[in-house]
């Protein structure tokens, strides 16, 4: 945040100060810009920004006062880095419809508690985006804080392979709109529903890959001192890649399959050091959060991740309350309708341990031997598929080369035939025009 003070000097008299030309130091005479302070901004970045503002202000005052006392300007610098006196609300940013002007709506692809999501093409760049629009007016309501929290979290997190990418946000008619990356595979909840319908379930390898990729996304979120607090299948998005490339991502940070899982819906994100917790879906809620014990919130994300993987395995729908709900919070693993290796269910059971400190962190999960083995197996499988595709391409290229050679040979044969026919035609034409053929000979007699 930068504050600017403008002084007007006319014939040596300052209109906003005294005759010395020095402006008043009353902070009330300066009007702070109307902007928001992102509560998720790392403290180190805030310190750097404050230091930069202080140095810039000192330099400006030094040039303005030509060596006058700087203590007053130092005090003013301290005032300039304070939060603004006004906060920008959704009503303050109403304008001509940016949504209708910049985007062409293709279809509605989702609806939830916050609002609806639309698949849109941006008219300028021709790319597809997901635009989330709130259902009801937000200004002055609790929902406004949740919407702003999601925008703040997206802006701070930036870009990561396993977090839905954020582009921009704005308001229209008191409704919040958020422009995010479009994930062409829908949500994990959509896949789970379809699997129930067709009676097809994730294999153990697929479940391990899901767990590993989402753990990588959580590792990144936790590294910024933030926690998600609402991990569940409907908040995990799928991006299906049409081109298989094993070496596109590093082993520690990227996927090894043609499906990339991304964490989205950051409306419940909060800081670790100063948590403002709003409870998410009770089916995936850790017991310590319900008891308002916020000392180890990152392990609550791990608890929810384990139950998300269990839901994807084809298990029965998780309970919202009752005895089964409490059994899970006591460390009892729900029944999984498929045969798994002994190590994987043990890992999932550890992730829902009643003691949060006993659960593994997201960072340790990304290095867990059970998941890394699955990652290597998946990479090997992709290499086999890639080699098969290369072999098919080689065969097709060989057939194409043969076809091209046959075409050239046929064209040459036709060309040779045309040349022979032309030559014979010319020869017959010449023989028919020999001098004296079928003509009467004249006889000349000379008498001496």
Identify the structural domains of the chain with CATH numbers, from first to last: 9-87 (no CATH), 91-181 (3.30.200.20), 188-380 (1.10.510.10)
* 12 belongs to an annotated ligand binding site: no
Query: Residue 230 catalytic?
Result: yes
Please tell me the predicted confidence (pLDDT) of residue 279.
82
Tell whether 235 is in a known binding site: yes
The upper half-sphere exposure of residue 413, i.e. CA atoms within 13 Å in the direction of its Cβ, equals 6
Q: What is the per-residue pLDDT for 326?
A: 96
**Pairing verdict, β 175-181 and 166-172:** antiparallel
User: Within a 13 Å sphere around the CA of 397, how many CA atoms are in the beta-carbon half?
Assistant: 6
**Nearest-angstrom CA–CA distance, 133 and 99:** 10
Nearest alpha-carbon partner for 22 in 56, 69, 54, 82: 69
> Which pLDDT score is estimated for 237?
97
What pLDDT does residue 255 have? 44
**pLDDT at res. 141:** 67
Question: Does 112 belong to an annotated binding site?
Answer: yes
The predicted pLDDT at position 384 comes to 62
Give the mean pLDDT per block of 10 residues along the chain (448 residues): 38 43 48 60 59 63 54 44 50 70 94 87 95 79 78 89 94 89 95 90 93 96 95 95 50 61 93 86 94 93 97 93 95 89 93 96 94 64 63 77 83 78 69 54 55
Which pLDDT score is estimated for 145? 78
Which pair of tokens denotes residue 447?
């008498």
| Nearest partner of 359 among 391, 331, 327, judged by Cα | 331
Question: Is 93 annotated as belonging to a binding site?
Answer: no
Q: Whole-angstrom Cα distance, residue 241 to residue 361?
A: 29
Alpha helix ranges (H) inside 81-141: 98-102
pLDDT at 391: 76
**3 state SS of 429:** helix
pTM: 0.65
Please identify which residue in the block is written with the tokens 């659960």.
359
Q: Is 16 annotated as a binding residue?
A: no
281 is in an annotated binding site: no
Q: In the chain, how long is the greatest CA-to-CA distance?
A: 152
The catalytically annotated residue of 143, 174, 209, 230 is 230
Is 110 marked as a binding-site residue? yes
Report the pLDDT value the prediction gives residue 376, as an integer from 0 to 100. 61
Cα 422 to Cα 408, 414, 429, 430, distances in angstroms: 21, 12, 11, 12
């Amino acid at each position: 945040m930068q504050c600017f003070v403008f002084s007007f000097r006319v014939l040596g008299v300052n209109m906003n100060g005294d005759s010395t030309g020095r402006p008043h130091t009353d902070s009330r005479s300066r009007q702070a810009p109307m902007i928001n302070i992102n509560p998720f901004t790392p403290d180190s970045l805030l310190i750097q920004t404050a230091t930069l503002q202080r140095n810039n202000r000192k330099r400006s005052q030094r040039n303005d006062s030509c060596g006058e006392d700087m203590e007053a300007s130092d005090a003013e610098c301290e005032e300039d880095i304070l939060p603004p006196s006004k906060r920008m609300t959704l009503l303050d940013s109403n304008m001509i419809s940016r949504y209708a002007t910049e985007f062409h709506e293709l279809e509605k692809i989702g609806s939830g508690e916050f609002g609806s999501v639309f698949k849109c093409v941006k008219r300028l760049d021709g790319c597809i985006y997901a635009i989330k629009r709130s259902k009801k007016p937000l200004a002055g309501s609790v929902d406004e804080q949740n919407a702003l929290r999601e925008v703040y979290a997206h802006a701070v997190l930036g870009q990561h392979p396993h977090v839905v990418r954020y582009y921009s946000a704005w308001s229209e008619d008191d409704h919040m709109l958020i422009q995010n990356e479009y994930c062409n595979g829908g949500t994990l909840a959509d896949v789970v529903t379809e699997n129930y319908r067709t009676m097809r379930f994730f294999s153990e390898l697929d479940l391990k890959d899901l767990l590993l990729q989402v753990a990588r996304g959580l590792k990144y979120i936790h590294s910024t001192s933030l926690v998600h607090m609402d991990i569940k299948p409907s908040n995990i998005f799928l991006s299906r890649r049409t081109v298989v490339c094993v070496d596109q991502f590093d082993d520690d940070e990227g996927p090894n399959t043609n499906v990339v899982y991304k964490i989205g819906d950051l409306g419940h994100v909060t800081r670790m050091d100063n948590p403002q917790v709003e409870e998410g879906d009770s089916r995936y809620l850790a017991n310590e959060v319900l008891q308002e014990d916020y000392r180890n919130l990152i392990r609550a994300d791990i608890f929810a991740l384990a139950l998300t993987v269990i839901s994807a395995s084809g298990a029965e729908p998780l309970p919202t309350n009752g005895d089964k709900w409490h059994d899970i919070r006591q460390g009892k693993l729900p029944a999984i309708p498929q045969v798994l290796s002994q190590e994987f269910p043990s890992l999932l059971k550890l992730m829902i341990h009643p003691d949060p400190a006993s659960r593994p962190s997201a960072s340790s999960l990304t290095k867990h031997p059970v998941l890394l083995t699955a990652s290597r197996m998946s990479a090997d499988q992709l290499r086999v598929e890639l080699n098969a595709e290369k072999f098919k391409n080689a065969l097709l290229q060989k057939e194409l080369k043969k076809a091209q050679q046959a075409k050239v040979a046929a064209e040459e044969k036709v060309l040779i035939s045309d040349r022979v026919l032309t030559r014979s035609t010319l020869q017959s034409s010449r023989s028919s025009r020999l001098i004296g053929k079928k003509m009467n000979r004249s006889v000349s007699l000379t008498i001496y």
